[in-house]
Structure 1
Amino acid sequence: MQPRAHSVPAVVQTSIPVAMWLAASLLVACGEPLVPGAGEDAPGTSRAALTELVVNGTFANGVTTPWWSGANTQSLVENGRLRVNVAGGTVNRWDALIGQDDIPLVSGRAYTLAFTASASANVPIRATVQIEPSPYTATLDQTVTLDGTARRFTFPFTSSLGTSLGQVTFQFGGSGAFTLYLDDITLTTETGSGPIALTSGFYVDPNSNPAVWVNNNGGDARAARIQAHIASKPGARWFGNWSGDIASAVSGFVSAADAADKLPVLVAYNIPGRDCGSHSSGGAGSPEAYRAWISSFVTGLGTRPAIVIIEPDAVAQLDCLPNDTERQTRLGLLRYATEQLRDRAPNTWAYLDGGNATWIAADTLAQRLESGGVRNIRGFSLNVSNYIPTAQSNTYGAAVSAALNTRYGYTKPWVVDTSRNGNGSNGEWCNPAGRKLGVTSQVGGGADLLLWIKVPGDSDGQCGIAPTVPAGTFSPDLAIRLIDGT
């Protein structure tokens, strides 16, 4: 069984006490310039040999080669870093740029672009990893704002491109004349590590609710379609207080995936006060019980490759908790979970859930994610069990990552649940009609990963077009509606 549902309106206003609590948390959480991000210094990624793809990223030899400059830029090495004089009178970012060519990229492989930068004015710049020839398709495209303080920027990503003609660019046009400084530019890829590189695709759970229903109802006319469109596709398994011995349950799941050389996706869903008492209410009975549970969850993972989504809605639903003491307790539990995954699951990419693109302002979510420990792990997840289109979720994810960078000096990638967003959202969250399956699990897609996190066909609760089906219970009628988009 998988109890799971959203239980709040799509838009939640932050109360005054919460705002005061968030401001107080900022005083504790804010770091200094050059705080490391999620790349080579982040403890949440697996330690392994790194291959450096950029040549002369430190400018220690006093020359700019093989970096090239565009028509509206002039580059030279000054005091061991690259000085770029940017001309005024430009309109587009790409009107003034520098770059390096002949970067090999492998589709599906994890990379990290990092650099230290400052400028003589407050200006936005664009960093890309893309292909050299037209149409200059980018697998990484990030904009950051610089000022006179040198800061370290780190962007982990998974390449959607396979090419020997890759290119790193920094684009500065449209902001008038200024001087830019760049140093310690790296583009690294882990050699033989990371859960993507360690596996040969996503794991199809043979014991998912749809698969079990198909196996038990082979004579049903709907079974073949549900098998073809849902049960045979890779998706997540949810773990909570229904899972029994959690270390054994997790270990059995990841062991089966490891034996098949596939990458499993797991959801940890047992935070105290889960779902604010709505359709998927429950969770561990106390903070102490949760710490023991999540510690055992991580024990079950071990060193095997895995993707873990941490506590859907737990960050977004902070507002429903009655006071700041309980909010701080929840954030402490989430930090504990991220620390356990960081320290004891070296081949797991973990993502702290952030709700959906229509729920909380990006800047507010960034503050909550920081307080919940997102800097310890790979990134954050969006749209779990919801219907928001992928493009909208990606735009929001980029805004959240940019807010993390502005406030705390690091960026984070995100994953998007695409299990039911094929027709987008009609504004309802609980078993709405007219929704449709989205694209199946894959690397990239504008995010780190697109994943089927919610199990298609599992009810959100006794509501909508399934008023008698409890949360987490599989309904073949819901499944067929998602297949047909009705």
Structure 2
Amino acid sequence: MPARYGDLITNGTFTNGTTGWWAGDPAYITVATPGTGLEATATTDAVNLWDALVGQDDLILRSGCRYTLSFTARASQPGTTLRAQVGLGADPWTPTIDKTVALGTADTCFTFSFTSTLDTTTGQLSFQFGQSTAVTVYLTEIRLTCSTVEEGFYVDPDSNAAKWLTANPDDPRAKKIERSLVRRPGARWFGDWNNDIKSDLDAYAGEAASEGQLPIVALYNMYNRDNGGQSSGGAASPDAYRAWVDAAAAGIGDRPVLIVLEPDSLAQLGSLPTDAARTERTALVAYAVQTLGTLPAANVYLDGGNATWIRPPEMANRLQDAGIAQVRGFAVNVANFDAVDVCCTYATQITAELARLGIPGKGFVVDTSRNGNGAMDAEGQHVDWCNPAGRRLGVASSIGVGGADYLLWIKVPGDSDGSCGVGPGIPAGAFSPHLAERLIDGG
């Protein structure tokens, strides 16, 4: 059975010869696999593009779902026309994507995203290049991926809560933690605790794609992270941070991933000691935005603070300086407690300011992991940010309301903010069943 989710193409690098692929009439096309991809040669008798073609059948396409087609190609002569189609594999051969590119003699990677208009189990990918002249087209790294929120967000099987449950199955809190936390999708955070960020992200994105689900990841490795606070650490230098971002992007590749980028990095600018440090921080965030923003199937949300921290005009300026025009949008309320309506009002004000700055149409996401009781205590005072009492789980990861793209569990419920509040002695990022139970019960 061909893949339904994740990568739909088999043998896209032709390491197994032509297994899984077919070619057209041998009078018009011959193929070879010398070990570096596919070499397909059209004869002079192939007058029409469709006379010389190669392809793969029995692809499952679903109407309304988003796909990304990518491939690397070159030709024996410049200006060679190559047509890539995904559509029905039988009459009437209706395409859902039809792209024509001009090939040069150097390898070029092409990437196209599209929403399928077809619902079929007999889909077909084909490459066509007949043009009345003898020409060889070289193809490799062919992928057709699908992962959308219609299949749901990916549940991290190795979350801190899941690890605790495995180690403590008989704990009296185990059932409620399993039901309320372990089974719910949320972000996995990546930072300086990952020894090989490329390999770790490659594995995580691949696991999610194989399940046909969209993973949420938070990238949290900024140089001078948290400005020396409870979550201090991060990359050892600006150059180390840029190298880490490059490796993270390589690990994600063309798999669908929702990225929340560097929580607090821009909101904490005012706490940095010098203008030079603030300029450096903004430049590092901009580098990450530029690098991750080129990933073909990633939706990147740059952190935008929370409703009681930075005023919307100032946050919009910081987001502009960091290059938000290059990505999908921004995140609000990460690891905070403001109610959804408060967050959406704040985010909408930021989007209006961004539009005023000439950057319209930016989306936003809201962290709802711990905002079920909002951010006010019994006396109507705003609670502290660090493990405050009386908080509750918010709406689980889902499609957004109030203008938000999504409501997401970005902060991992039960993971401590630091040795503070109702979590004394629990370091930042460590899972605590005590903190988890309080969030489940609202205590």
Structure 1 and Structure 2 fold alike (TM over 0.5)? yes
The reply on whether 1:236 has 2:187 as its aligned counterpart is yes
Give 1:456's aligned residue: 413
Give 2:107's aligned residue: none
The reply on whether 1:366 has 2:322 as its aligned counterpart is no
| CA distance in 1 between partners of 2:205 and 2:315 (Å) | 30
| CA distance in 1 between partners of 2:374 and 2:149 (Å) | 33
| Partner residue of 1:375 out of 310, 319, 325 | 325
Q: How is 1:156-171 mapped onto 2 (pairs within 5 angstroms)?
A: none
Contact kept? 2:370, 2:413, Cα under 8 Å: yes
The reply on whether 1:191 has 2:191 as its aligned counterpart is no
Q: How is 1:329-348 mapped onto 2 (pairs within 5 angstroms)?
A: 329-343=280-294, 345-348=295-298
How far does residue 190 in structure 1 lie from its aligned partner after superposition? 4.6
Contact kept? 2:389, 2:421, Cα under 8 Å: yes
SS in structure 2 of the partner of residue 237 of structure 1: strand
Q: 1:398 to 1:470 in 2, by over 3 A?
A: same
| Partner residue of 1:474 out of 409, 431, 436 | 431
How far does residue 354 in structure 1 lie from its aligned partner after superposition? 0.8
CA-based RMSD of the aligned residues comes to 1.9
Contact kept? 2:188, 2:217, Cα under 8 Å: yes
Give 2:231's aligned residue: 280
How far does residue 295 in structure 1 lie from its aligned partner after superposition? 0.7
Q: 1:198 to 1:421 in 2, by over 3 A?
A: closer
The reply on whether 1:413 has 2:370 as its aligned counterpart is no
The reply on whether 1:219 has 2:219 as its aligned counterpart is no
Contact kept? 1:436, 1:481, Cα under 8 Å: yes
How far does residue 326 in structure 1 lie from its aligned partner after superposition? 1.1
SS in structure 2 of the partner of residue 479 of structure 1: helix
Q: Which amino acid aligns with 1:391?
A: D
Give 2:217's aligned residue: 266
| CA distance in 2 between partners of 1:204 and 1:418 (Å) | 16
Q: 1:255 to 1:107 in 2, by over 3 A?
A: closer
SS in structure 2 of the partner of residue 201 of structure 1: coil
Give 1:126's aligned residue: none
Q: Which amino acid aligns with 1:291?
A: R
Q: 1:483 to 1:108 in 2, by over 3 A?
A: farther
Give 1:71's aligned residue: none
| CA distance in 1 between partners of 2:191 and 2:249 (Å) | 13
Give 1:52's aligned residue: none
Contact kept? 2:64, 2:115, Cα under 8 Å: no
| CA distance in 2 between partners of 1:444 and 1:198 (Å) | 12
Q: How is 1:24-103 mapped onto 2 (pairs within 5 angstroms)?
A: none
Give 1:433's aligned residue: 389
TM-score by length of 2: 0.66
Give 1:424's aligned residue: 374
| CA distance in 1 between partners of 2:283 and 2:258 (Å) | 22
| CA distance in 1 between partners of 2:145 and 2:253 (Å) | 14
Q: Which amino acid aligns with 2:407?
A: L
Work out the percentage of aligned pairs sharing the same amino acid: 48
Q: 1:237 to 1:404 in 2, by over 3 A?
A: same
Give 1:206's aligned residue: 157
How far does residue 443 in structure 1 lie from its aligned partner after superposition? 1.4
Q: Which amino acid aligns with 1:451?
A: L
Contact kept? 1:199, 1:263, Cα under 8 Å: no
Give 1:103's aligned residue: none
Q: 1:466 to 1:376 in 2, by over 3 A?
A: same
| CA distance in 2 between partners of 1:196 and 1:423 (Å) | 32
How far does residue 191 in structure 1 lie from its aligned partner after superposition? 1.5
Contact kept? 2:340, 2:366, Cα under 8 Å: yes
Contact kept? 1:390, 1:418, Cα under 8 Å: yes
Contact kept? 1:351, 1:414, Cα under 8 Å: yes
Contact kept? 2:419, 2:427, Cα under 8 Å: yes
Q: 1:198 to 1:411 in 2, by over 3 A?
A: closer
Q: 1:409 to 1:210 in 2, by over 3 A?
A: closer
Kindly indicate whether structure 1 or structure 2 has the higher relative contact order, using CA contacts under 8 Å at least 6 residues apart: 1
Contact kept? 1:238, 1:268, Cα under 8 Å: yes
| CA distance in 2 between partners of 1:195 and 1:324 (Å) | 44
How far does residue 411 in structure 1 lie from its aligned partner after superposition? 3.1
- Of structures 1 and 2, the larger Rg is shown by 2
Contact kept? 1:195, 1:306, Cα under 8 Å: no
| CA distance in 2 between partners of 1:464 and 1:107 (Å) | 46
| CA distance in 1 between partners of 2:338 and 2:348 (Å) | 15
How far does residue 448 in structure 1 lie from its aligned partner after superposition? 0.5
The reply on whether 1:351 has 2:301 as its aligned counterpart is yes
CA deviation map 1:109-156 (0-9, x unaligned): 89xxxxxxxxxxxxxxxxxxxxxxxxxxxxxxxxxxxxxxxxxxxxxx
Q: Any gaps of 5 or more consecutive residues in structure 1?
A: 1-105, 111-188
| CA distance in 2 between partners of 1:108 and 1:225 (Å) | 34
The reply on whether 1:443 has 2:394 as its aligned counterpart is no
Contact kept? 1:352, 1:379, Cα under 8 Å: yes
How far does residue 408 in structure 1 lie from its aligned partner after superposition? 2.2
CA deviation map 1:216-259 (0-9, x unaligned): 10010100100000011000000000011000011111111111
How far does residue 444 in structure 1 lie from its aligned partner after superposition? 2.0
CA deviation map 1:327-384 (0-9, x unaligned): 11111111111111122x1100000001101101101000000001111100000000
TM-score by length of 1: 0.60
Q: 1:205 to 1:262 in 2, by over 3 A?
A: same
Contact kept? 2:373, 2:442, Cα under 8 Å: yes
Q: 1:393 to 1:107 in 2, by over 3 A?
A: farther
| CA distance in 1 between partners of 2:147 and 2:346 (Å) | 24
How far does residue 207 in structure 1 lie from its aligned partner after superposition? 0.1
CA deviation map 1:256-294 (0-9, x unaligned): 111111100001100011111110001101110000001
Contact kept? 1:265, 1:307, Cα under 8 Å: yes
Contact kept? 2:283, 2:322, Cα under 8 Å: yes
| CA distance in 1 between partners of 2:430 and 2:385 (Å) | 16
How far does residue 108 in structure 1 lie from its aligned partner after superposition? 9.3
Contact kept? 1:469, 1:475, Cα under 8 Å: yes
| CA distance in 1 between partners of 2:320 and 2:146 (Å) | 24
The reply on whether 1:483 has 2:437 as its aligned counterpart is no
Give 2:25's aligned residue: none
Q: Any gaps of 5 or more consecutive residues in structure 2?
A: 1-62, 68-112, 117-143, 377-381
Q: 1:430 to 1:409 in 2, by over 3 A?
A: closer
| CA distance in 2 between partners of 1:220 and 1:197 (Å) | 36
SS in structure 2 of the partner of residue 404 of structure 1: helix
How far does residue 325 in structure 1 lie from its aligned partner after superposition? 1.1
Q: How is 1:109-120 mapped onto 2 (pairs within 5 angstroms)?
A: none
Q: How many matched pairs?
A: 302
Q: Which amino acid aligns with 1:429?
A: W
Q: Which amino acid aligns with 1:273?
A: N
